[in-house]
């Protein structure tokens, strides 16, 4: 079992594949004052699901596997582009609409989905304050984690973070290291370690039986420095200098897309194609037509692209960021590289390009792991178990 899933079970005594009985005392406590006593209603705060990004992708994938008793409230930026003034007005209106909806008394508890970053902490802190002011149980699910923001919080705003965010009844994180950092900050409540989720169909798609002449490397992420796009391009360039039968696909959009395209032309790096933003069948094509996935990101929560690559049967070359460190087996699933040196990644690319059978074995193993632990239906079931544990009275709850 991957460490991220295993740590959730160990830390909270909840088995991911079992069903936790709901104590009768919990049911009486949380349905006696609600108009709908036949179900437990949860209000989940999400970004606009038409947007990209890990949180929106997570809930798009998961919604079909969750019961109707879980409802959704959209906040933050919307798909259309607006100015700063309109964004601020929209946020104020979001707070008002959230207050009105929570005050309706329909919901047993609330779930917020911030990242541990300055903008998200400031925005979602008010949603937490509203929920606790109305005496609701609130669960926080930190999806991303910005190390720089964490340092600032520790040095300057620890008191404010504790005053606001320690009101949460439980927290969910995507890596055991994030749980440890919250404990270091002093959070006393239960902390669950979970994963992101993948669409089930990805594990069923057949891969091509005959390998292409050129070994195709895929980088699929937002095109920005923190995702490691420069390291990926330079690593490919160095690897191709030793093995000309290679090609690189860069898929994604972002602020450095044009710079990256110009850089490859100026440097004369051959066989590089930029696909821009991909979704749906085009995204599936990007994964299924590749021979390995390269992702030298600086920091992550739990990168869904790594799990998607695994589901599609690809070996993965990445860094031990966020939740990846909890489950990834170096040498069996691909390769983990601590540094950000392009030369180190170039060497690993060369090993896979020179040994296609090794890459296929890794890809087959990755697909098996993805089927066992990261399917949306499995993640949804574990999330519901967490909800039950948080709602249970302390005397009978399985959460620690």
Do both 131 and 40 map to the same domain? yes
CB contact at 8 A, 309 and 218: yes
Helices (H), 44-117: 54-62, 84-102
Residues 186 and 286 in one domain: no
Domain for residue 361, yes or no? yes
* In a shared domain, residues 95 and 228: no
Q: Based on the domain organization, do 321 and 334 belong to the same domain?
A: yes
Same domain, 107 and 145: yes
What's residue 8's pLDDT? 40
Please check whether residue 235 lies inside any domain of the structure.
yes
Domain count, the chain: 2
Other beta carbons within 10 angstroms of residue 110's beta carbon come to 26
Q: How many CB atoms lie within 10 A of CB 312?
A: 25
Identify the pLDDT of residue 187: 97
Range of the domain at 229: 200-373
Residue ranges in the chain modelled with pLDDT below 70? 1-39, 78-82, 208-211, 393-400
The answer to whether residues 385 and 356 belong to one domain is no
Say if 113 falls within a structural domain: yes
Residue 329 shares a structural domain with residue 233 = yes
The domain that contains 60 carries what CATH number?
3.40.50.2000
DSSP-based three-state secondary structure for 197: coil
Question: Quick one: pLDDT at residue 394?
Answer: 63
141 and 26 belong to one structural domain = yes
Classify residue 396: in a domain, yes or no: no
Helices (DSSP H) in the chain: which residue ranges? 3-12, 24-31, 54-62, 84-102, 118-133, 147-156, 158-165, 176-185, 229-242, 257-267, 280-288, 304-311, 324-327, 342-354, 356-373, 376-391
What's the sign of the alpha-carbon dihedral 384, 385, 386, 389?
positive
Q: Report if residue 400 sits inside a domain.
A: no
**What contacts 24+ positions apart, CB below 8 Å, involve 22-31?**
22/388, 22/392, 23/392, 23/393, 23/396, 25/393, 25/396, 26/391, 26/392, 26/393, 26/396, 29/393, 30/108, 30/391
User: Does any domain span residue 89?
Assistant: yes
Regarding whether 90 and 236 lie in a shared domain, the answer is no
Examine residue 148 and state whether it is found in any structural domain, yes or no: yes
Q: Judge if 177 and 214 occupy the same domain.
A: no
What is the reported pLDDT for 205? 82
Instruction: Judge if 380 and 369 occupy the same domain.
Output: no
User: What is residue 26's predicted lDDT score, i.e. its pLDDT?
Assistant: 35
Domain assignment of residue 205, yes or no: yes
CA distance 39 to 264: 56
18 and 138: one domain?
yes
Give the pTM.
0.84
DSSP of 304-368: HHHHHHHHTT--EEE---TTHHHH--BTTTEEE-SS--HHHHHHHHHHHHH-HHHHHHHHHHHHH
């Amino acid at each position: 079992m991957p460490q991220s899933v295993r740590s959730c079970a160990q830390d909270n005594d909840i088995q991911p594949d079992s069903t936790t009985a709901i104590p009768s005392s919990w049911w009486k406590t949380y349905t006696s004052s609600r108009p709908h006593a036949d179900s437990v209603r949860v209000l989940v705060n999400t970004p606009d699901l038409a947007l990209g990004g890990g949180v929106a992708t997570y809930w798009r994938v998961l919604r079909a596997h969750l019961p109707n008793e879980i409802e959704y409230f959209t906040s933050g930026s919307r798909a259309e582009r607006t100015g700063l003034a309109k964004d601020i007005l929209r946020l104020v209106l979001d707070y008002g609409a959230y207050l009105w909806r929570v005050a309706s008394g329909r919901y047993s508890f609330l779930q917020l989905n911030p990242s541990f970053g300055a903008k998200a902490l400031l925005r979602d802190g008010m949603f937490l304050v509203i929920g606790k002011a109305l005496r609701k149980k609130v669960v926080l699910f930190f999806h991303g984690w910005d190390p720089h923001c964490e340092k600032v919080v520790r040095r300057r705003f620890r008191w404010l973070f504790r005053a606001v965010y320690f009101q949460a009844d439980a927290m969910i994180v995507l890596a055991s290291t994030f749980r440890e950092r919250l404990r270091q900050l002093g959070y006393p409540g239960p902390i669950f370690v979970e994963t992101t989720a993948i669409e089930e169909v990805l594990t069923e798609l057949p891969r091509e039986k005959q390998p292409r002449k050129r070994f195709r490397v895929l980088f699929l992420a937002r095109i920005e420095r923190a995702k490691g796009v420069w390291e990926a391009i330079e690593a490919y360039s160095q690897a191709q200098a030793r093995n000309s039968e290679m090609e690189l696909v860069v898929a994604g959009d972002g602020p450095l897309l044009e710079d990256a395209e110009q850089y490859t032309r100026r440097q004369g790096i051959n066989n590089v194609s930029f696909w821009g933003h991909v979704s749906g069948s085009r995204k599936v094509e990007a994964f299924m037509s590749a021979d390995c996935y390269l992702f030298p990101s600086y920091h992550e929560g739990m990168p869904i692209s790594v799990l998607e690559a695994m589901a599609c049967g690809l070996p993965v070359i990445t860094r031990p960021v966020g939740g990846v460190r909890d489950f990834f087996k170096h040498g069996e699933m691909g390769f983990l590289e601590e540094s950000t040196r392009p030369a180190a990644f170039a060497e690993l690319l060369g090993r896979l390009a020179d040994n296609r059978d090794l890459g296929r074995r890794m890809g087959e193993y990755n697909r098996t792991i993805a089927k066992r632990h990261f399917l949306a239906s499995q993640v949804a079931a574990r999330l519901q178990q967490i909800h039950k544990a948080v709602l249970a009275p302390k005397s009978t709850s399985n959460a620690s």
